[in-house]
Structures are given as C-alpha cells and as structure tokens.
Amino acid sequence: MNKKIYSYYSLIFVSLFTFSLRAQVVSVTPRFPIVTDEITLTFDVSQSNDGRAQGLLGLEEGVFLWSGAGENAGSGPTGAFEFAPEGQTDFNSPFTPGTMTSVGEDLWEITLTINEYYNIPEEDQSRIGFLGVLLKNGDGSAQTEDLFLPVFQADEYGVILTSPVPGASLTVDEGEQINIAVLTSESSDVEIFVDDVLEETFEGVTEVDFNLMAALGDELIRRVRVVATNGEDEVIETFTYAIIPESPIAELPSGLQNGQNFDPEDDTRVTLVLTAPENEAVFVVGSFTEWELSEEFIMNRTSDGNQYWLEVTGLEPGVEYLYQYWVNGAVQISDPYADKVLNSTRDGEIPELNYPNLIEHPFPNDDGFRVLTVLETGREPFQWAETEDTYVRPDKEDLIIYELYMGDFLGNHYFGQEGMIDTLSYFKRLGINAIELMPITDHEFDPGWGYDPFAMFAPEKYYGTRENLKEFIQAAHAMGIAVVQDIVFNHQTGLNPYNILSRDPLTGQIEEGNPYFNPVARHPFNVFEDMNHDSPFVREYLDSIAQYWIAEYHFDGYRFDLSKGFTQNNDATDFGDQGQWDDFDQSRIDNITRIANKIWDVDPTAYVILEHFAAGDEERVLGELGMLLWGGLHSPFVNNLNGTNFNVSLDRLTDSIYVGYMETHDEQRIIYEMLQEGESSAVYNIRDLNTALDRSKMAAAFFFPISGPKMLWQWQEYGYDLFLPFDNPGRTDPKPRIWGQDGLGYFGDPDRAKLFDTYAAIIKLTQEFDEVFDDGNVTLDLAGNLKSIRIDHETMNVNIMGNFDVTGQFFESNFVSTGTWYDFLTGDSINVTSVSETMILAPGEFHIFTNQRLEAPGVDLVPFEVEFDDNTVTSNEDLIEAGISVYPNPVIDFLTIRSEAINYNNAKIISLTGAELLNIEIPSGQSEFNIPTSSLNTGIYIVELYGVEQPPVRFRVVK
C-alpha cells in the first residue's frame, strides 16, 4: 500500500503547514525566537514540496519574502494574517523590503526584527504565536509552499514537534517507521504515548529523533501523544495514524449510480457510490461516524478497482448529515456528484433570504474539512406545475437570449420570488425569450463569474436553494422564456474532488497518467486544470452532468464555455499552438457530439450552444449537427458605430448556426467604445452620450431584423458604459447596477429608457411578423457607411436604411414600390414617388419603413424626420441649364461659383443635419466669387444661393 502522509487536501490548497525544520525548507536563528528578537531566516528552495518552487531554482537574485505574523497558524502568509510588513499588498509584484540574499546553491537568507518588520504594536506583542512565510519571485508565478514558524514569549518554555505536523492524520503500512522529531528550548523529559500506553521516554534532552513502528491496535485510529516537561511547565502535542485494512471486494448492485442513491422504500438508508480508479481503499467519514475512520465505513470495491460503494443505514429522514470520502484513508474529498456541499470559506456570506437555515459548517477553520457533502434522506421531491407539461420552448432560430450574471444583475442575487421570478416581467417587456445564466454550479472563488467550478451537480447556494432554482425555471417557462445554463466542461479548480485525486501527495502537482486531468494543458487559453476529454472516466462524468441539469431542473439547454478545449490533439508545449488548436479537429467534434447526443437523449429539442471560434469548416459541421455557435459581432459593430471602418464584415448576422451578439461578458461595452473612440465632425460627435445611445438604436435596427438567434449582455439595452478590465483584479469584481439604491440611476434616465424602448419595439416587430423576417426575401447592403436591409413578403414589406458616417449623406433608396410608407419608430408616413428616391440621411440617422401602418411604439424614441432631396439640384446638366458653374467639386480650400444669368447676394453652406455652417454676403453685381471651405470636415454639404426675387438654388458639394 502506498503511504499517503497528511491530508491531501491541505497539501494542495493551503500548502503543507510545516514548522521550522520540517523538510528543512526554512530554519530560523535563534531556534526559539521571541517577538522582539532579530532573527535570520534561511530557506533551502531545493527542499520545497510545492511544484511552483521549481521556478525559483537556480536564481541568483529576484527572490522575495512574503510573510505575516499572527496569533495562530490558521492563515497562510498570503492570507489574512493580522500583521504584515508595510506595503506588502501586491503578490504579483516584487516586494523590495523582503528582498532575499542568495548564499549559494538555492539557499536564501534574510535578517529582520520581528516586531519592527511586521509593525506589531507593543500591546499586541504578547499575542503573537506564529510567523507565516514563503518565498516567491517578482511576479508571483513561482513560490514555495506556505511555511509556519512558532514565535515564543520571553521566558516561555518552548516545544516544537517538527515531525509529523501537530494534529496530522497519517495512514501507513503495518511495520512502517513514523519519525517523531521534537525540539525543546531547555533540558526536558519527553514521553511518547500510543493510545495512552507509554512507548518511550527521553530524559534531560533538547532534541528527540525517534522512529515509532506502526502497529495494529484495538481501534483503527491510533492516537499518539508527545509530552514534554521541564519540571515546571508541560507541553503536549498529538497526531494520529491508521493502518488501512484491505477493501472488501463486491460488485456494484444493479441500478446504482455515482453519488447518493436513495432507497424508495426506506428513508433511513442510502447507498453512496464513488468512482475513484487507481486507489486502494475509501472510507466514508462524516457526522454519522463522529468524523473518524472506522472499519464499519470502509467502502466495498468493485473487482475492476474503479468504483467504491457503501450502504449507510440508521439515518433520520429530513436530517442533514455531512460527510467526506477519505481515499486511502487520508485524501479528503467531497462527493463529486453531490447536489449540495458546504464550503467553509464562502458559505458564511450567504444571506438568510437566499438560503434560510443553512446547516452550519462544523470545522470552519480546518482546511482539511473545507468542503463537506450534505446528505438528507426523505427529502420531498419538487412538485412541477402543470404549465411544464404544456410549455414549448422557442425555436432555436428565433432565440433572443439575455446573458446575465446572477451576482451582479440583482442586488439580492436571488432566484426566488423576491428576486429573479419577480424580474421576469422585465425580460418579457424587452422581448427576451431565453435567459442564459452565467455558471451557477458551486464555484471556488469570490468575487467570481462562476468559471471556477468544482461541484458540478450543486447549484450555487449564494443564489438560493435547489427549489428556488426550479421555481425560477418553472416561472420563466410559464411566461414562454427558456433558461439556458452556461456550463464549464473544459476545466475545474483545485477543489474539484477528481482534481484532488489527480495530484501527487507531496508536491501537489497533477500526476502523469491520472484518469482525469492533464498535467499540462493541451491547448492555449486554458484556466485552472485542463480535463482529459479522451479519458472514459471524464466522459462518464461530463455526460452525467449534461443529462442531470436537463432532467432534474428542466433547463432548456447549455452554453458550453471554451468548447474548443474539448480535445487532446494539441500536442504542442508552452501552452499549445494557437494555429494547431484552431484547425479542424474531428476528435473534438466527436467529443462535443457525444455530449450533445446524451443531452438529446433526455430532451431532443434542448439547445446546445458552443463558445467555439474554431475553423469555419469545423463550426459548419457542428452547426449542421443541430448545434448553435457563438457568432461574435462585437468588433464589426464597434468599427461601424465608431465610424472607423465601415466595411468590416457583418456576415455572421445572416448565418443561422450562429448566435449573433454585439456584447458579451468578454468584451467592452459598445457605448463605452463609442464614448472613448468614436469619430466626430464639425456638427456631430459620437463621443457624446446621447449620440452614442442613438447609434446603439441604429445598431439594433441592423441586428434584430435579420433572421437567426441573437443575444444581449445584461444592461446592453440601457447603454451600460462602464469600463471592463481584461486583467484581474477587477475583471470579475461586482459591477454597479443600473437600478437600486446604490445603482447608477440608468433605470430612471429618460434617454436611456428610449434605448430600452427602441430595442423592445424592434424585437417585438420581428416577433409579431416572424413570417416576414424569417421567410421574406432579403436584400442586404451592409458594406460602406450607408447600409440597408430590404425584406419583401406578401404579408408586409420592410425597408431599413442607416447612415453610419459622421457626416450627412445622400442615400438612394431601394423601395419595392412607390406609394405610402410608414416610419415604424415615429409613426410618420411618407409618399414615395420613385423606388430609387434620393433621401438625405444625417449622420447616425436610420429608419425602419413598412408598407403597413403599425402602432407607433413610443414618443420621440428617435430624433430623425424623413427628408427627401426634392429641392436639390442633382446633376451638372441642371446647373448648366441654370447658368451656374461650380468648381472644383470635390473641393479642398475654396469653392468657386460663377453665375452668368442671375446676380446672387447671399450664399450659405449647410450640413445634412440642417446646421448652417457658413453664411456669406456676395457683393452686388459680382458674377464669380469664392467660398472658403478649409474649415469644413470631409463630407457632403448643401450650398444655397439666394438672389433678389429669385428662388434659391440648392446643390451639393463634396469635400
């Protein structure tokens, strides 16, 4: 049997809690320092058990101490120690007061005075019991584990158990030697007891180095007590060890699955099943075992060595019990299939509204027990309403998805009646028919968007109970709104039970050949730990997750985060080869298709949406198999809306396999981009907020009417314009809301409300006339600064046009017929006398014309009135016939006008928005004159000439 020393959990997540001479990583002089001592810390980086310390080996400079002082060793040096050196705040930057001195061969030293270095006031010095230390490089990418050094008070009797760690739980083989090492500050007698039986005595010593032979006892757990005394004072340190018996071999009973299997006939029993290949023994340890190893709770092992199972009896229905699996007696993990876990570092912040009467974590300060599984028999099943039987989800081609993050969207971030359920009417008014929740499985870090998952069957309790989530989905369905879960199958964090089982017990690094995770990610852009998608164990795990949420919670489908990572084919090093990763990958298609088919086995119409961004032919294959793919249109729309590039392709708008979007959580807001980068002219500035809001309305007019699934990112409909940092810290930090007492006030802003109303009106138009927008004959002209969409259908014809430029433009329309047309957003009517009628479009002006009168959606949603070019001379022949010469056209600095027949006394230059830019008096009798144009920006302008008792002449010039 392989020996697994210490809690595997502690090794991985808080590093090895070790004292001064343990593994000789760090030593301190003097050996028993007091808080006012000057001490020298000596580190031997080569002895570090943390794989990240490899980056420190061989360095000659650029190594820094990161440390703190406190009352106990319950916090790591990177955590919440009470006292720290001044200025030690950014782990990812060099901390120069902690600069280490190299003394050769990976040895580093620093000398400091404890109370001065850590700024410990005199009144607090008597409380200091430990220093927490580690070494790191400048940017924090390489470091040792957390190391703890005891600090003593003057005249205090000092005793240090250097091996094993005090309080450790060891698992060993019978006959194995357990090293016990003790240091004392003065001559002492040291006694070693095993189960209260004296094993060995040492008299008058200051050091003990003793090997205890592990032997079977009456109980599985044997308790070792080390007692040191100097004749006046006594110090006791303890640890335990166990010799793990052989697992009983028994095949898994028929019908059992991984996780908790409840007996439908007996609420006092449950059968627990764990898949954990390549291990030797698993115990169930929990509140029903008094949190100790017991032979009664060793799990049966199947003959192939892959699964463990145990029937637990004598449970009280309706009572929540807590448990872990202790693999090989020491590796503490939660149940990978648990639908509820406790996390001691996060659950304390959950409001009573969201999760009333949440069971208390019994070991909040013990990292080995950080994540516990909750077990409750006799739980009443959720009663789904009859509306679920009649609910029909929207066709995937008609989806208008609203992506939101529960942690930000509402102040109480709650699924229930006073939260998301009460907000469904908001989505309905907007026209949303699907809500995409950013990951809601239990995740590790706060603040966070949920892309750091570890408990894939457990809803995040911060958002409410399991029942609250079902109530929300049920209420959404009753209003015709689908609910999609954004889910993470590419990676998992360190708290994931299978991640823990994949690691080396001493280094904490993922082992080669483990059944679940890749030691090195097989593609670029991976975060946390990359799953091995070719492993049959990973496939079984992910397939189960995919089916579970559809069957148990009635989710309508998934958006799979980073689906391009579902491959093992990228064999490049240094985080992978981008080009290779992008290439067509049949194995990736096979992995994704397998998952999709598992989902469709449960619900044939469930949505499968991929964040993929791979080769076009690969995406085409996946789309033809029935999946949707994210179709990013952020950059094309931003270029057009900013007035910087009008020819960026909008092609993905027209391809129904893509979910088109202008914003997601991964991009800057389009309003922010316009306010920062928008172009301007003399009379038009995109960086003006109201101008940017109007341009966002124009974007909506060219986004929603084109058939195919679409998506909004939360508050896009109110023009959210706060900067998104792309690097942490700050990226996933809580964002100000548009509403609420401490919100941004957008919700009450009439100009922003017009943006919401415009979005809602256009969405409603496309939904009420879905046959027009889905089946009509579409003519698109989306290149250049002037864009148009024409849709012809027997029910109704639609003509959309817009000027994305910052100057006014003449636009030759493309109406299907003459006659009366109606401006949808204003309710105005126009008389079209020519299907190619020339119109004047001011910068940012757009219109949605229909040949049917529709109810106007609001008042003053857009500031534009239709203007035809009826009174403008449009050809050189007309100018010649009027006896007028104009040159040069286009102009540069001057426009010269010659009039042979009529004397003009006044000339004006007017922008296409109607703004008068120049007004020049012409001397009487002068038939040729110049108009200065150097102050004008590039664009099209109207020139008007006025004479006595003569009608004005109007013509356009270009600069």
Helix (H) or strand (E) holding 537: helix 536-553
pLDDT at 809: 87
Q: Which residues of 880-910 are buried (b: 16+ CB within 10 A; e: fewer)?
A: eebebebeeeebeeebebebeeeebeebbbb
pLDDT in tens, 103-145: 999 999 999 999 999 999 999 999 999 999 999 999 998 999 8
pLDDT value for 926: 81
Lowest mean pLDDT among 364-373, 474-483, 605-614: 364-373
Contact in structure between 401 and 484 (CB atoms under 8 Å)? yes
**pLDDT for 940:** 80
Give the total residue count for the chain.
959
pLDDT of residue 561: 98
Of residues 642 and 892, more confidently modeled: 642
Convert the pLDDT of each residue in 275-311 to its tens digit: 999 999 999 999 999 998 999 999 999 999 999 999 9
Instruction: Give the residue, 71 or 547, on which the prediction is more confident.
Output: 547
60 has pLDDT over 90: yes
Please report how the helices 689-701 and 634-642 are oriented relative to each other, as an axis angle in degrees rounded to 10: 130
Residue matched to tokens 């922010």: 672
Determine the Cα–Cα distance for residues 636 and 648; give it in Å rounded to an integer: 5
State the pLDDT at residue 875.
61
pLDDT band at 902 (very low <50, low <70, confident <90, very high): confident
Strand blocks (E) in 824-893 = 829-832, 838-841, 846-850, 884-887
Mean pLDDT of the region 529-537:
97
- In the prediction, which pLDDT does 619 show? 97
Q: pLDDT tens digit string along 364-390?
A: 878 789 999 999 999 999 999 999 999
Give pLDDT, residue 892.
86
Q: What is the CA radius of gyration of the chain?
A: 36
Task: Give dist(CA 119, CA 884) in Å, integer.
Answer: 87
pLDDT at 3 over 70: no
H or E segment to which residue 212 belongs: strand 197-213
**Residue 652 pLDDT:** 82
Separation CA 562–CA 525 (nearest Å) = 9
Residue 421: is its pLDDT beyond 80?
Answer: yes
Q: What are the structure tokens assigned to 562, written together?
A: 């980073």
Query: Per-residue pLDDT averaged across 548-560, rounded?
Result: 98
Q: How far apart are CA 627 and CA 655, in angstroms?
A: 13
Which of 81-85, 314-318, 506-510, 813-817 is the least confident region?
Answer: 506-510
Q: What whole-number distance in Å separates Cα of residue 536 and Cα of residue 522?
A: 17
Amino acid 496: pLDDT: 97
Read off the pTM.
Answer: 0.84
pLDDT at 169: 81
* Closest to 646 (Cα-Cα) out of 758, 781, 815: 781
Asked whether the beta carbons of 402 and 369 are under 8 A apart, the reply is no
Question: Given a cut of 60, is residue 13 above it in pLDDT?
Answer: no
Show the beta-strand stretches assigned E in 426-476: 434-437, 441-443, 453-459
Q: Which of 315-319, 343-347, 765-769, 926-930 has the lowest mean pLDDT?
A: 926-930
Tell me the range of 336-350, 450-464, 520-534, 646-660 where mean pLDDT is highest. Answer: 450-464
Lowest mean pLDDT among 242-251, 345-354, 393-402: 345-354
Q: Is the pLDDT of residue 324 over 90?
A: yes
Measure the CA–CA gap between 211 and 175, rounded to whole angstroms.
11
Residue 407 three-state SS: helix
Predicted confidence (pLDDT) at residue 687 exceeds the cutoff of 60? yes
Q: What mean pLDDT value characterizes the chain?
A: 91
Residue 14 has pLDDT above 60, yes or no: no
Q: What mean pLDDT is predicted for residues 484-493? A: 97
Average pLDDT over residues 768-789: 96
Confidence at residue 882, expressed as pLDDT on a 0 to 100 scale: 74
What pLDDT, on the 0 to 100 scale, is given for residue 73?
64
Instruction: Judge whether residue 19 has pLDDT over 50.
Output: no
Looking at the predicted structure, is the pLDDT value of residue 243 above 80? yes
pLDDT value of residue 623 = 98
Q: Please check the confidence at residue 419 and state whether its pLDDT lies above 70.
A: yes
Using the 8-state DSSP alphabet, how is residue 884 labeled?
E
Q: What span, in angstroms and rounded, lies between the C-alpha atoms of 233 and 157? A: 7
Q: Which residue has the higher pLDDT, 573 or 856?
A: 856
Q: How far apart are CA 453 and CA 623, in angstroms?
A: 27
CA dihedral 931, 932, 937, 940 (to 10 degrees): 10
Q: Which of 840, 822, 819, 841 is nearest to 831 (CA)?
A: 819
Q: Encode 137-188 in three state secondary structure.
A: ECCCCCECCCEEEECECCCCCCEEEEECCCCCEEEECCCCEEEEEEEEEEEE
Report the percent of the chain where pLDDT is more than 90. Answer: 73
Rounded Cα distance between 535 and 541, Å, is 10
Q: Looking at the predicted structure, is the pLDDT value of residue 78 above 70?
A: no
pLDDT at 485 over 90: yes
Q: pLDDT category, 945, cuts 50, 70, 90?
A: confident
